[in-house]
Amino acid sequence: MSVFVNGNTLVVSAIGPGKLHLLSYQSNAKIVNHVGFIPTTKTGETRFVISHSYTFERFAFFWEGSGEAVYGIGTSLVRQPVGKSWASASLASWGSPTITTANVTAQLTSAVTRDNAITAFIIPDLI
């Protein structure tokens, strides 16, 4: 099952303050790449959901922070470490059921910065 289907989700759980960076690229509508981050100052756990845009086919993300970050897909109990740079980013590809690791630095040169305006969102603590 693909990561981005109804009823499924990609969640990143991070400990401590930091930034979740997201690069959306390979647009099927010829839209320029988008890159940005969502910051957190929380000392405990922050959970982020990484959504998608129908115009992009690749979503690379990494955690820049004081603590560790892991991702999980849907209801699976499996958690894997999140990449720590664009050179070793975690990559969700449209239609794929898994997350891979990729060097996406070449995709950044044409990206428009969208800090706090990317398709990643902090999940409220009560959910």
Q: Is residue 4 part of a domain?
A: no
DSSP secondary structure letter of residue 124: P
Does 127 have pLDDT greater than 70?
no
pLDDT digits (tens, 9 = 90+) for 56-92: 999 999 999 989 999 999 888 999 999 999 999 999 9
DSSP 43-93: SSEEEEEE---TTEEEEEEEEEESS-EEEEETT----EEPPSSGGGEEEEE
- For residue 24, being part of any structural domain is answered with yes
Residue 1 CA to residue 35 CA, distance in Å, equals: 26
Phi-psi region of 105 (alpha: psi -120 to 50; beta: other; left: phi over 0): alpha
The overall average pLDDT reported for the chain is 93
Residue 91 has phi, psi (to 5 degrees) of -130, 125
Q: So what's the pLDDT on residue 1?
A: 66
pTM equals 0.93
User: The domain containing residue 16 runs over which residues?
Assistant: 10-123
- Any domain includes 104: yes
In a domain, 85, yes or no: yes
Q: Structural domain tally of the chain?
A: 1
Q: Which of 80, 77, 74, 20 is nearest to 46 (CA)?
A: 20
Segment 14-57, tens digit of pLDDT? 999 999 999 999 999 999 999 999 999 999 999 999 988 888 99
The answer to whether position 1 is within a domain reads: no
